[in-house]
Chains A and B, each alone.
Chain A
């Protein structure tokens, strides 16, 4: 009884805390804190969901008060039921506050503008959904638009009338008492949506074959540096809000108003202004694409899993003598044996799936960004771990890098480089990486999964099973990466055309933002040139001092030069677009 009061007391505190959090913290958040639009929808939705959870909790509190006043608290089964509900809801309130706090922190972190441009570029094809062509709305497109109003904005339009103004710059939809205007803003590449004169949404306007096509943004990306030496992708809606939906039916209505995904892409704080950090976000974008397109099952279905090898291993473990509290014993109990077997299979299957996902993300990252990806990934992985060591979550660095190197060769990146010096540099860098990866690394024992019970000995066997299974789908991984990045790939021909020009500019300490006068460079070409220069500048012989501090200073300046060049290239391209439109 006393313990239950404590539980309830915690909830009341959590409830009060949640309300205070919502009131004080959320109102401090402003839209300008976010690098991408639509985040105000997300904050609004979080606030509404929070209210919903708290109101349900208040219902429990009233029920508890009633049981207490009736004096039936101790001996009713209802009380025990209530207690279980109370624990679940307390955890949910705590958890939900953590999500809000996480989003708030994420939104407040400083991220360089070049990183925002890069992620925006990498995700442009995946982060929006085509709604209609501005000049000629087909009947299917009109239906898409009406569905958008219903699902995303909660506005039901019956028998809508769609009209366009004579200058072609505004569309008006009328239905009953509702008047909806969509105003095209050519210069800012947006279309502003007004419902009954209130601005409620901004569409994205893209130019396709000289005509404006309207897209709705269906993802919010939040970029954040963290104190961990790791890059991460987190799907806030899928991972954290899906369980809320089944308990609170009203939450689904709120989620319908949101973009389909809220993706947090985080990277190590120490790489905040580093070329490496910027390009490895392409790997995290890969996780996002895999998640929204559900790409793993189709690959997993083709895995050649060696059931016999697995069964042999499990039988060896199950029948071997293991240490128990009263000396040596064998696993004979059915439930115990069955549980161990299932835990082991879960661990192996999870690893196969995890390895496939990591390799696919690498491949997507490479397809989107070219050779810079293999150098960036190499710098991250080889600076922190033994290259031949795999874990249950990740294939070894050698495995990952060799797979990308095989694609660099197949697509003939080096052969396409027209500039002789640049080609020689790329060939030398690739050869150096290959040679390093084939050098045996110091012996180090692998532990497959440290969460497995100590009874699972000889875990090397598990690596063998996982490696064999993943190897059976490596070609499939490459073809899936090809498919999903179609139309977005950074080609060997673009690399070959640009890299020599931009490298020369860097060698002359000229910002590599143009390939020729008045022509902004491709931002991925800038990154490729930047990382190649960063890896080769010491060979030029121009720089005599080699103290650690001096080298660090130079590398910091190279990073800044490259990242500002990305910004300059994007801004120049936008300015040229504006001038072109003004003609």
Chain B
């Protein structure tokens, strides 16, 4: 069984859900509120991965590191004239979090106020699809260790 694909599918469907919800526009309902909270948690997880601390933490250390590594790929591919450095990464994550926190406060999803979030999750979906269709993900068993002698 190849379970590698499940993580990419999970990321892809999550991004898809965010994109569709933003496009729908309008007043929040229970499921949209829940989704917005999940987006904040998702950004928190990336920030934890960025700090790279071990020990007591909110989320799984491997998951947060993987989320941060993916965020680096997503941010590097976003259309932008600026140099991608620590400041830019911090800025993108803060912008998304700020937009989503406002949508939670106002209990309203307005695509005009969630442009950075929309752009970020389009990138996340692209990355997931790239992973799903990449050579390494094609129906192969993960590499195993073999004795050298």
| Residues of chain A whose beta carbon lies under 8 Å from any beta carbon of chain B | 81, 84-85, 87-88, 91-92, 95, 98-99, 102, 230, 234, 239-240, 242-243, 246-247, 249, 297, 300-301, 303, 305, 307, 334-335, 338-339, 341-343, 345-346, 349-350, 353, 384-386, 389, 391, 393-394, 442, 444-445, 450-451
Contacts and interface: CB of A to CB of B under 8 A. Distances in A.
A292 to B, nearest CB: 16
A513 to B, nearest CB: 37
B140 to A, nearest CB: 13
B19 A335 contact: no
B1 A98 contact: yes
A234 B1 contact: yes
B6 A342 contact: no
Contacts of B16: 84-85, 88, 247
Nearest to B88: A334
B9 A305 contact: no
A246 B62 CA distance: 22
Contacts of B60: 297
Contact of B54 (A239, A246, A303, A386): A303
Interface of B: 1-3, 5-6, 9-10, 12-14, 16-17, 19, 31, 49, 52, 54-56, 60-62, 65-66, 68-69, 72-73, 76, 83-86, 89, 125-126, 128-129, 132-133, 143-145, 147-149
A88 B13 contact: yes
Given A247-B13, A334-B85, 8 more contacts: A88-B132, A242-B6, A243-B9, A297-B60, A339-B72, A350-B62, A353-B61, A451-B143
B76 A81 contact: no
Nearest to B9: A243
B17 A342 contact: no
A243 B72 contact: no
Given A334-B86, A353-B61, A389-B147, A88 B69 contact: no
A386 B147 contact: yes
B92 to A, nearest CB: 12
Q: Would you call the interface of chain A mostly helix, strand, loop, or mixed?
A: helix
Given A85-B16, A297-B60, A385-B147, A346 B66 contact: yes
Nearest to B52: A345
A346 B62 contact: yes
A252 to B, nearest CB: 12
A348 to B, nearest CB: 9
Contact of B84 (A99, A246, A334): A334
Contact of A335 (B6, B49, B65, B84): B84
Contacts of A92: 9, 13
Contacts of A88: 9, 12-13, 16, 125, 128-129, 132
A393 B56 contact: no
Nearest to A101: B1
A384 B149 CA distance: 10
B148 A445 contact: yes
Contacts of B12: 88
B129 A84 contact: yes
